[in-house]
Amino acid sequence: MLKNKMFVPALLIAGLLSLHTVAQAQKKIKTIIVDAGHGGKDGGAHGGYEGGLGSWEKNITLAISNKLVAQLQKDLPDVKIVPTRTTDIYQSPPEKANIANQNHGDLFICIHADAVQLQTGRRQIGTKSIVRQDVIYIGKGKKRKKKYGKKYNIVVPVYDYYKIGSARTGTSIWLFAAHKTNDKLDAIEKGGQLGEDDDQIDSTADSTFNNIDFNDTRETRMLAQVYAKRYQEKSIELADLINDEIAATNRPALGVYQRQKGIWVLQATNMPAVLIETGFITNYNDERYLNSDAGQQEIAECIARAIKQYKEQVENSKTVAVPATTTPDPAPANVTDSTTKDSTKTQ
């Protein structure tokens, strides 16, 4: 809470300027964060079905991430590519999000592998003989007595139980959930980054995870909403491009989705963000594909090609990709206007 009313407009303008530069930074893709999902003690999904390789998601995501980083470094030499991890280490979701935010990423790419709940199957592997004995009761009430009959043998089947690999196969791309936008707004407000040419307002912001107290003012929230919408639209743009690249291979491209419960790292990052479920570790063919050098390379190249196209689209577009009809333009004039209005109200 701010006690000094005179301070409100100055802080707001500083805050809005810093948000404004977030959008400007989006005009040029300078930094891309690649996150290999899971790691260390968090193995992620497991290919633990009959005939499966028993592989762990964390190793697949790391292998694809390392290949993607190398591919992007080759294809986009002017862009800084930051992997969240390059070895088998554990990182909590906030740690992953912090790496993205502190490096001022313009794009956050999370690599994962999908899984379904495996069903248990059984097959008869033989028979065995067991002894049975009938039990009968004689009498009623307190006089009721248990009496054993004759012993006899019966033959019963012996079963082997196993997990059945899933039929589901293919790659899907996930976005932050629209109804979780408040989290994204928080990330944008807390992580509003500064461009290189904004030294004059640098004193108002921590250069990493900046701590400007935006006080949830309506202007800031509204502007943050504009950016959340932009990030959402840009995320969809990139997700569609990745899906198209996957579809061009002979594997199923399952499309672009939003998870009902949201995806924490996608919500907590102050940038467009997509999560790629590269394939099903619980599917026989997908698991082999995901563990193969050729498969990992093919997926990495699909994602890299999509990112390259996305970068060209973003950098060559004249305006930031938000339809002017549906979203207020955060021009400095409007900002000053609404700031003045609101600060008058609060006084």
Is 52 a binding residue for Zn ion by CB under 5 A? The answer is no
Number of H helices, E strands in the chain: 9, 8
Pair 210, 193: CB distance under 8 Å: yes
Residue 44 lies near Zn ion (rule: CB under 5 A)? yes
| Of 42-50, 77-85, 96-104, 117-125: span binding Zn ion (CB under 5 A) | 42-50
Stretch that binds Zn ion, among 72-80, 107-115, 128-136, 233-241 (CB under 5 A): 107-115
Tokens of 337: 């206007």
* Contact residues for 25 (Cβ-Cβ < 8 A; gap 6+): 104, 106, 193, 195
* Residue with Cβ nearer Zn ion (37 or 170): 37
Query: Rounded to the nearest whole angstrom, what is the least distance from the CB of residue 266 to Zn ion in the complex?
Result: 12
To the nearest whole angstrom, how small is the minimum distance from the Cβ of residue 111 to Zn ion? 9
Question: How far apart are alpha carbons 176 and 180 in whole angstroms?
Answer: 7
Q: Does residue 279 touch Zn ion according to CB under 5 A? A: no
* Nearest CB to Zn ion, comparing residues 44 and 105: 44
Span near Zn ion by CB under 5 A; candidates 39-47, 205-213, 232-240, 327-335: 39-47
Question: Is residue 47 a contact point for Zn ion (CB under 5 A)?
Answer: no
Confirm or reject binding of residue 184 to Zn ion (CB under 5 A).
no
**Diameter of the chain measured on Cα atoms:** 99
> What CA–CA distance (Å, rounded) separates 185 from 198?
22
Q: From the list 58, 67, 104, 112, which residue makes contact with Zn ion (rule: CB under 5 A)? A: 112
Range in contact with Zn ion (rule: CB under 5 A) among 76-84, 104-112, 224-232, 239-247: 104-112
Contact between 253 and 90 (Cβ < 8 Å) = no
The minimum distance between CB 199 and Zn ion, in angstroms, equals 40
**Secondary structure string (H, E, C) spanning 214-237:** CCCCHHHHHHHHHHHHHHHHHHHH
Least distance (Å) between residue 114 CB and Zn ion: 8
| DSSP-assigned beta bridge partners for residue 81 | 32
∠ CA 182-10-209, nearest 5°, is 45
330 makes contact with Zn ion (CB under 5 A): no
Per CB under 5 A, 96 contacts Zn ion: no
Closer CB to Zn ion, residue 64 or residue 188? 64
* 37/262 with CB nearer Zn ion: 37
d(CA 272, CA 269): 8
Report the interhelical angle of 332-346 vs 7-26 (nearest 10°): 150
* Contact flags string 214-233 toward Zn ion, x per CB under 5 A: --------------------
Q: Which residues bind Zn ion (CB under 5 A)?
A: 37, 44, 112
